Amino acid sequence: MRIAVASGKGGTGKTTVAANLAYVASREGHTVAYLDCDVEEPNGALFLRPAISEREPVHVSIPAVEETKCTNCGLCGVICQYSAIVPIKGKVLLFPELCHGCGGCWLVCGSGALSESRRSTGRLETGNANGIRFLQGILDIGQAMSPPVIRAVKAAAPDADFVVIDAPPGTSCPVIESVRDSDYVLLVTEPTPFGLNDLKLAVEMVRVLGLPFGVVINRAEPSASDTHAWCEYEQIPILAEIPDDRHVAEAYSRGEMVCETLPGYVPLFSELLRRIAASLNATTTTAGRRCAP
Amino acid sequence: MKELVVISGKGGTGKTSIVASFAALAGNAVLADCDVDAADLHLVLEPEIRRREPFSGGKRARIEPGRCNACGKCRELCRFGAVLPDRPRDPSGGRVYRIDPIACEGCGVCAWFCPEQAIVLKEAINGEWFVSDTRHGPMVHAKLGIAEENSGKLVSTVRQEARRIAQTLKRDLILIDGSPGIGCPVIASITGTSLILVVTEPTVSGLHDLDRVTALAKHFAVPAMVCVNKWDLNPELALMTETHALRRGLRVAGRIRYDRGVTQAQVARKSVVEYQRNGCSEDIRSAWEAVRRELDRTPDVSGEGRRAS
Ligand code: SF4
Ligand code: SF4
């Protein structure tokens, strides 16, 4: 079962939820894999403290240019939709950061001046955190495109009872890439106006993807908030509420696992896990899991 | 003209609340919300929209089912796994293909090589951008469509428009609310600006992210300052963050204490400095002074908006 943990807004406690969920699942005897797909700012390792055993670069395709063979036909510049390759007077200028590696240029080049090559834009690290299989992607500084690194993390995911995916914040392409083939999406939010605004965007996103989802409210106040009212109105299940507890904030600030430092929180996370599994069983039998638009 | 961009590495550090306060303190800046993926500044500044424009960040392919003879060439060539076999068969009983609009990156390779010319590549509408009036000055903001890409290009569009407005109105400061992360929207937010203010929190994650954003600022040669928000949640780490920043050549703009007034101000749709005079508002005011002084030292930015992917 693949559970993606996402949030419209950053800093809502997404990593806390993902890491503790993986922790309790593993403690309950399940096999667990943790995929840190927040490759721009991967933080899962700070909490799970894995021993990294393998590091490999993530490559993307890019053209290699042999200028002497160029006949100046200009076709590469025409097919490239991203202005990543610009042929001018016997010179072929390449802007690697703009290239999507689509292959168009070397396919149209009839003179053999272009061929497929690759470059590295980040790395994939794998290891083990107390029995949890740990994978993280790290985007190189200055690189603009995180989806290829995210794809590499997901492609390397091992089989496990629970695969927990820590997705990047937001609702655009890196998030989609992270959550798209999960079985369930957990949206972490906080009960503030900004939090609610970003939750609405995140909900719109998972609805476009047609994935079953539920909400976790972090830093929850004892009284009901607009977020509660909105979720009720939209019939979105609130699967857990993590209270606004200074001890939790402090444990987080030191990079500690909430469930380890404050074992009183274990039941909250195992109940969350149970509720995800339960609602998943309910949705799979009624509606088809994926209904791409 | 100067451009100040406020970013945070990891989101949720209070960046937008600080930008809103700076807007109130500056008085006559042009505002640009470049956190196009999860824009929140409008919740506080309540912009009155004067102009709205559609945004197209790229193209998207579409297969015309009547012309597809299911040769499978597109599926073989597509590097993004965006060509899917379609479920309903065409009247002749053959299989046809279709494009998954979410996976499609609009490269057009399929359209170029389709022997039946059954694929059209069309400009996709990925979002919208707005020019608005707010009580603290003109504001350019945007909304990226759900599940859309090319937020970097949308950020560049917002920044270009903000520069145009600043020039026309002869305003000497553009205040940019940047996006989280280090990828394309952030790169587009910071390139060519006068100064970056990194808002961080005293946590190990904050420290880790600060490292990555600092490296990014160096990479694009933009001077940066740092400010630790909610510093009193962990004074030790706050100090560590600041020493760390100083060692990396960043100046410290100040510390902001943890204050529940920040959320109350959000609820009241006000910036914190408008909402209350004391508490963290004092800290924000002194951080603003430090940033202002630093800005005076930076050279003016050129009027032309730079492009980034
Ligand atoms: S397609 Fe090949 S031959 Fe034509 S301009 Fe480009 S590199 Fe030169
Ligand atoms: S591989 Fe595609 S994106 Fe890259 S330069 Fe060639 S045509 Fe442009």
- Cβ distance B204 to A180 less than 8 Å, yes or no, reads no
Residue B46 has pLDDT above 60, yes or no: yes
Q: Is the CB of A76 under 6 A from ligand 1?
A: yes
Residue B240 has pLDDT above 80, yes or no: yes
Predicted pLDDT of residue B92: 56
Whether residue A192 contacts residue B203, with contact meaning beta carbons closer than 8 Å, is answered with no
**A95, part of any domain:** yes
- Cβ distance A252 to B105 less than 8 Å, yes or no, reads no
Predicted pLDDT of residue A211: 94
Which ligand does the CA of A145 lie closest to?
A: 2
Domains in chain A: how many in total? 2
Give the contacts of B259 (CB within 8 A, at least 6 positions apart).
Answer: B272, B279, B280
Q: Is the CB of A80 under 6 A from ligand 1?
A: no
B251-306 pLDDT per residue, tens = 999 999 998 888 889 888 999 999 998 889 999 999 999 999 999 998 888 654 44
Whether residue B222 contacts residue B193, with contact meaning beta carbons closer than 8 Å, is answered with yes
Q: Which amino acid is at B60?
A: R
Q: Is the CB of A104 under 6 A from ligand 2?
A: yes
Predicted pLDDT of residue B173: 95
B107-166 pLDDT per residue, tens = 999 999 999 999 999 988 888 999 999 999 999 999 888 777 768 889 999 999 999 999
Beta bridge partners of B127: B55, B144
Q: How far is the CA of B143 from the centre of ligand 2 (A)?
A: 28
CATH number, residue A71: 3.30.70
Distance separating alpha carbons of residues B46 and B24, to the nearest angstrom = 13
Distance separating alpha carbons of residues A151 and A159, to the nearest angstrom = 16
Which ligand does the CA of A65 lie closest to?
A: 1
Where do the structural domains in chain B lie, given as residue ranges? 2-46+135-296, 58-125
Instruction: Please tell me the distance in Å from A104's CA to the nearest CA on chain B.
Output: 5
pLDDT in tens for each of the 293 residues of chain A? Answer: 999 999 887 788 899 999 999 999 999 999 999 999 999 989 999 999 999 999 999 999 999 999 999 999 999 999 999 999 999 887 899 999 889 999 999 999 989 999 999 999 999 999 999 999 999 999 999 888 899 999 999 999 999 999 999 999 888 888 999 998 899 999 999 998 889 999 999 999 999 899 999 999 998 888 878 999 999 999 999 999 999 888 888 888 888 999 999 999 999 999 999 999 998 777 554 443 333 33
Residue B236 is encoded by which pair of tokens?
A: 């030790």
Domain that holds residue A71: 67-112
Do A73 and A189 have their domain in common? Answer: no
Distance separating alpha carbons of residues B34 and B204, to the nearest angstrom = 26
**A158, part of any domain:** yes
Q: Is the CB of A74 under 6 A from ligand 1?
A: yes
Residue B115 is encoded by which pair of tokens?
A: 């022997």
Distance separating alpha carbons of residues A212 and A184, to the nearest angstrom = 5
Residue B197 has pLDDT above 80, yes or no: yes
- Cβ distance A142 to B148 less than 8 Å, yes or no, reads no
Q: How far is the CA of B71 from the centre of ligand 2 (A)?
A: 24
Q: Which atom belonging to ligand 2 lies closest to the Cα atom of A94?
A: 5
**A291, part of any domain:** no
Do A133 and A240 have their domain in common? Answer: yes
**A271, part of any domain:** yes
For residue A173, the chain B residues in CB contact (below 8 A) are 147-151
Q: Which of residues 216-245 of A touch B (CB under 8 A)?
A: none
- Cβ distance A101 to B79 less than 8 Å, yes or no, reads yes
Q: Which atom belonging to ligand 2 lies closest to the Cα atom of A102?
A: 2
Give the nearest partner residue to B146 out of A180, A192, A201, using CB atoms: A201
Distance separating alpha carbons of residues B142 and B130, to the nearest angstrom = 6
- Cβ distance A171 to B204 less than 8 Å, yes or no, reads no
The SS3 of residue B239 is helix
More confident residue, A195 or B90: A195
- Tell the burial category of A10 from Cβ atoms under 10 Å away from its Cβ (0-12, 13-18, 19+): buried
Rounded to two decimals, what is the model's pTM? 0.87
**A241, part of any domain:** yes
Q: Is the CB of A209 under 6 A from ligand 1?
A: no
Mean pLDDT of chain A: 90
Q: How far is the CA of A41 from the centre of ligand 1 (A)?
A: 38
Do A141 and A107 have their domain in common? Answer: no
Q: What is the largest CA-CA distance in chain A?
A: 72
Predicted pLDDT of residue A290: 37
Considering the four listed CATH numbers 3.40.630.10, 3.50.50.60, 1.10.600.10, 3.30.70.20, the one that applies to the domain covering B58-125 is 3.30.70.20
Do A104 and A131 have their domain in common? Answer: no
More confident residue, A155 or B94: A155
**A292, part of any domain:** no
The least confident of B30-34, B83-87, B109-113, B198-202 is: B83-87
Mutate to test the pocket of ligand 2, among A62, A85, A95 (most ligand atoms within 8 A of CB): A85
Instruction: Please tell me the distance in Å from B23's CA to the nearest CA on chain A.
Output: 18
- Cβ distance A102 to B102 less than 8 Å, yes or no, reads no
A148 touches chain B (CB under 8 A): no
Distance separating alpha carbons of residues A204 and A199, to the nearest angstrom = 9
Whether residue A20 contacts residue A269, with contact meaning beta carbons closer than 8 Å, is answered with yes
Do A226 and A87 have their domain in common? Answer: no
Task: Give the chain B residue whose CA is nearest to the CA of A253.
Answer: B203
- Cβ distance A43 to B220 less than 8 Å, yes or no, reads no
Considering the four listed CATH numbers 3.40.50.150, 3.40.50.300, 3.40.50.1000, 3.40.50.1820, the one that applies to the domain covering B2-46+135-296 is 3.40.50.300
ipTM of predicted assembly, 2 dp: 0.82
Q: How far is the CA of B73 from the centre of ligand 2 (A)?
A: 18
- The residue assigned the tokens 């929207």 is B185
> How many residue pairs bridge chain A and chain B with CB atoms within 8 Å of each other?
187
- Cβ distance A144 to B309 less than 8 Å, yes or no, reads yes
B5-34 pLDDT per residue, tens = 999 877 778 889 999 999 999 988 999 999
Distance separating alpha carbons of residues B70 and B96, to the nearest angstrom = 5
